[in-house]
Every structure is written in structure tokens, then in C-alpha cells.
Amino acid sequence: MPWTFFGVELASRALQAMQMAMNTTGHNLANVNTPGYSRQRVNLATTEPQVIEGVRTLFMGSGVRVESIQRIRDMFLDARVANTNSEYQRLNTLYTRLTQVEDLFSEPTDAGLSRQITAFFNAFQELSTNPENVGVRANVYHQVEGTARTFRQLASRLDEMLAEMEQRIRSTAGEINFIARSIADLNAKIRYNKALGTTPNDLLDQRTNLIEKLSEYVGVRTTEMSDGTVRISLGEFVLVEGERSNPLPEGIDYAQKAFTDGVDRWAQVTSGSVRGLMDAAEYVRSYRARLDTLAAHLVETVNAIHQTGYGLDGNTGYRLLEGTDALTIRVSSDVEDINHLAAATTNAPGDGNKALEIARLRQMPLADLDNKTIPDYYSALVAELGEHTRSASTGQENQKVILQNLQAEREAVSGVNMDEEMANLLRYQRSYQAAAHLINVMDAAIADMIAAFVGRR
């Protein structure tokens, strides 16, 4: 009886295949809410047919087997999502930081430097008409002190923001190194399983999620190798190679937008939140430098006039301001006595021409301020900040829409559809029941055959 148990074996293989299919479907349903999970599909194939020799050679089917459990994932779509997400994070970080800078400048409010500069020149305009009025002089001193204080506060806060951004970049570099080590560890596990001839779908999902997380920080180039591992690079710098990860250089070159050791190791940052921080830092340094330029020229031009004027005490040569930049500008100790405020060109009573000359500085273009007046130079700085912020805002909104569309497209490919999985589960269940029924039929047939054979004996 060479074929006696053939039907039982065929049905047994069907039971095993359907059991695996149901288990895979259950795995999909269990992970329907797991971020980054890729649905899996059981690929069934016929087993090798049995050859029956006789008058004619026949090939009889021997059942079904599980050929593979496939991870449904579009690698090209993953790469597009990662690249788009990286650029979105860059623009979103840049927009967030520039919005914070706008809040620091507080324009156009009474606390902003623009109003302080206007009040500064208005105070000298009033002093020119009432040069001997003590109340007017006290107001001038108050406005000069307020303007200098606003310069210092703004410069100090910009410096604090720059320091905080550098600290954030360095802490993110640590997170990048940690993710790189995790990817290298997964590379080792995936390579081992590939060598055994299996496809570790869940490990592949974990690695894809880590690569996407990495792309939020920095733009990376990913290359899949033949052994199942991935190679990850930042420009020419190899972050992950097989089972080995290389920590980022500790130095930061803001001009080149890279991590570097200053010699021969350069990790170029092309996108991601780190690039957004680097771009924001470059803008902030530019604003800070221009603020210093404005403060230095305000000190220089105002003092050049003030030192040639006369105070109520009949003396001249007093400085109104001191300092060399926005962080050091302050009211000079020469005018702690408000009678030392110079309003007159001569010692004649009621002379306010020197105060008027200072007031007219607001209308005087200065070569070192790009041929702009002091108020206009500052207004141009604020306008440039606003333009940078609007550009970043528009860019991040556009990238967000593209990213959402790509994520929806990927979800349609890789996401778990509960209705589809429930239908598959029911289909596999019915097939399992049919295979179980086939075993019962074969068992009864074999029992009848054995009974008949024993009865003849």
C-alpha cells in the first residue's frame, strides 16, 4: 500500500500551511496600531509533484507549502518619505527658531528697539526746544539709558539662543550616534538571519524606523548591501558600515554645515533638524553682527556730535555713550549729572542746536550702514528677519503637504487593512477546516482498507 497515507500527508501539509497563514494574519492584526509596521503576506506554492510510473508516467500533486512570508514594503517610497521628512524637519526647525528670534526683537511693539530708537531721537528733538528744562533733560537721560539697555538685552538673548542651539546640536549628535549603533546591531542580526535563509521582517521594520528617525535629524544616503545590511553616509562620512558604526566628529563647522574634527573627517549635514539649527544659527549670527554694527555706529556718531557741545555747566567734551557693540553699549559716566548733557553749540542761554543736530542723525545716511540711516538700517534687519521667517514657513508648509501625501501612499501599500485581514483570516480558516475534513475522510478510508485487508486474512 505505497499510497495509503499519501492523502493524510497532503492534508497535513495543508493544515500546516493554513495554520501559518492564520498566524501571520493574526500578527498583522495584532500590529495594526504599531508605528512603522509593515503588513506581511504568506506566499503559498504547490509542493513537488509525485511521479507515478506505469503504462504512462503521471505527475500527481502533493499539496501546498509556504514558500515565503513577504514583507510588503516599497523601498523607493521609503526613501522618498525619509528625504521629504528630512527636508521638512529642516524647514520646520528653521521656522520655529526664527519665530523665536522674532519674539526676541518684539517688533513692532513699544518694547522693540525700533520704538526705543525713535524715542531716543525724539527726546533730543524736545531737548533742542527746551535745553535748560530739568524734566526734559531727565527724559533724555531715561531714553538714552532705555535704548542702550534694549540693545544689551537683545544681544544677550541672541547669545543665549546661539548657545542653546549649539547645545541642542551636540545633544542631537549623541542621539544620532546612539541610533547608528542600534542600526549596526540590527545589521548584524539581519545578516545572520539572511545567512540562514530566512527573512527577518520585523527586524527590517525596526531598522527602517530607525533610519527614518535618523533622517529627521540629518539627511542620510542609504545603500542596501547584498548581505542584507545597509550602509549609511553623511556626505563622504560613513556613519554605519555593516556591523560597525562611526561616531560623528565632535567639532561643528557652521559655515560648511558639517561635523568635523578640523582635519580630514567631515560629516556633511544637508537636511534634517540639525541642518535647520545650523541655518538658524547662521542667521542669528548675522543679525547679531548687524546689531553690533548699529550699536557701534550709534555710539560713534552720537558721541562725535555730543562731545563738541556744551552742557549747562559750560563745559564740553562729554561722551553720551560708551561701549563697542550691542552687548557693551551703555550711558557714559560723563553724563551721570544730567547738566552734562550737551544741548548747545555755544554757551549762549537757550541754545539747543547741538541737541537738534543729534536729533537730525535719524535722517542722515551713513556709509558704514549700507548708506542707510540708523532707523532704516535697523528696519532693514527686522524686514530681513521677517522675510527669512516667511520663506521658512512657506517651505515647511509645502513639505508637510508632500510628506503627508507620501505617508498616505506608503500606508496604502504597507499598512494593515483590518477588513482585508479579517477576510483573509476567514478564508484561511475555511481552508484549514477543509484540510481537517480531508484528514477525517482519509482516516475513514484507511480504516476501511485495513478492516477489509484483515478480514480477508
pLDDT in tens, 62-116: 889 999 999 998 888 999 999 999 999 999 999 999 999 999 998 888 788 999 9
Q: What pLDDT was estimated at residue 60? A: 78
Q: What is the pLDDT of residues 12-57, one digit of tens each?
A: 999 999 999 999 999 999 999 988 899 999 999 998 888 777 667 7
**64-71 and 237-241 strand pairing:** unpaired
Residue 366 DSSP label: B
pLDDT of residue 425: 93
Angstrom distances, CA of residue 441 to CA of 58, 437, 444: 24, 6, 5
- Among 298, 106, 93, 73, CA closest to 201: 73
pLDDT the model gives residue 54? 66
Distance, in Å, from the CA atom of 247 to the CA atom of 342, rounded to the nearest integer, reads: 61
The reported pLDDT for the residue numbered 385 is 95
Q: Residue 271's closest CA among 221, 306, 330?
A: 221
According to the model, what pLDDT value does residue 1 have? 42
- Residue partners of 111: CB distance under 8 A and separation at least 6: 150
Amino acid identity for residue 454 in this structure: V
What confidence score (pLDDT) does residue 457 get?
Answer: 59
Check residue 41 and give its pLDDT. 93
Distance between CA atoms of residues 264 and 254, nearest Å: 16
- Beta bridge mates, 251: 260
**Which parts of the chain sit beneath pLDDT 50?**
1
